[in-house]
Every structure is written in C-alpha cells, then in structure tokens.
Amino acid sequence: MHSSQWKAPASQAQSPQEEWLEVPNPLPRVRLVTQSVVSASVARDLRGIDPARTVLLEAPVGLELKNVGNPVIPGQARIVSEQPGQIEIATNAPTRQLLVLSESWHPGWTTKQDGDASREVLRAYGDYQACLVEPGSHTVLFRFAPKSFEVGKRVTLFGLLLAAGMCPVILLWPKQHSSSILRLPKNL
C-alpha cells in the first residue's frame, strides 16, 4: 500500500491545524524488507515507496532497489519476548534482508544476531530501527543500553562508595573537634 492511500477522517481532527491519518491495514511491529532507499527527506520520499517492501535509510547498506525487476520474497519475523529495554525477535529469511522494528530510534539501542558481536542499529523511516539480517533462521536481540545510563551508574556508585567511606570518619571523629566545627559565632 502506498502512503498516498492513507486518508484523514474529518471526525477525528481536533482543530484545523491537526490532521489524523487513518492507516488501513497497518504494518506489523516487526517485519523483514528486501529493499532500501537512501533518503535525505523521509516525508518527501515516503510518498514514492511501498513501506511494506522498502525501507528509507540515511546511508546505503547494499539493498538499494536492486531487486526491482526480480523481487525477493520477504522473510518472516516475530517478537519472541519483550521487556522494558529489550526485544527479542526470531527471523527466517531466504536472502540478506533488513529487519524493521517499529520502536523509536535512539543511539543507545544495540542489536546482536544469535548472540554475536553488536550490529549497527540503522535509523529507518527517520524514526524507527532496522538492522541487517543474514539468510537463514536467526534470533535478533535489540537492547537499550545508552552510554548516559552507564555513566550515571558509575557516578552513583562512586557517590555511594564515598558516602560509605565517610561514615567511619564521621563516627570516629573526636568529640572535641566536632563541637568546635559546629560552634556558631556569638554575633549572629
């Protein structure tokens, strides 16, 4: 289905500036596609493709419309498990294809195929995620692990260790020193 087939039901618009689009037969949350188009303007380029078969990417990956005359049948993808920050997907593809996940793209997402080293998470359609999947049956794990979270964990751990290290110093501090430190000037 082309994006030009989407229609805006007037009854759902809240104001003249808002426009709701009714998408008949929405695409599945995960799917495999066999073609990609490099796009600098998703809004413009989306009108010229079939999103069920072609994904818009920021950079080439080797699947750029090479199967136009001889289309390859997309493989199958299904969510096996989903937890906050982690989505496991089973795929079965006859050729190298792109796995598209309708989850907001963020640089903190990583992905592994069959537990191997991380693969690049590509930005699909400007806001979703995609990754290359090799032929055959595979398990792909998307995991949200932003660097900011790791930095935050380390800063928190350092603060807790510092506070724990200060407890014995405070408890063992001689009483005569503590009273002079807490004494306020008389002219206040």
The tokens describing 54, both together, are 């072609």
* Residue ranges of E strands in the chain: 30-33, 35-38, 54-57, 76-83, 86-93, 97-101, 109-113, 118-119, 122-124, 128-133, 136-144
pLDDT at 11 > cutoff 60: no
Q: According to the model, what pLDDT value does residue 79 have?
A: 97
**What does the pLDDT average to over 6-26?**
64
The tokens describing 77, both together, are 């993808």
Query: Nearest to residue 25, comparing CAs of 49, 46, 2?
Result: 2
Percent of the chain with pLDDT over 70: 77
What does the alpha-carbon distance between residue 97 and residue 113 come to, in Å, rounded to a whole number? 13
Residue 160: C-alpha distances to residues 153, 154, 166 (Å):
11, 10, 10
Q: According to the model, what pLDDT value does residue 82 have?
A: 96
The identity of residue 53, as a single letter, is R
Q: Between 134 and 4, whose confidence is greater?
A: 134
pLDDT in tens, 73-130: 899 999 999 999 999 999 999 999 999 999 999 999 999 999 887 788 999 999 999 9
In DSSP terms, 156 is beta-bridged to none
Using DSSP, state whether 22 is helix, strand or coil: strand
CB 51 within 8 A of CB 5: no
Percent of the chain with pLDDT over 90: 44
Q: According to the model, what pLDDT value does residue 1 have?
A: 47
The mean of the pLDDT values for the chain is 81
pTM of the complete model: 0.69
Asked which of 7-16, 58-67, 120-129, 147-156 is least confident by mean pLDDT, the reply is 7-16
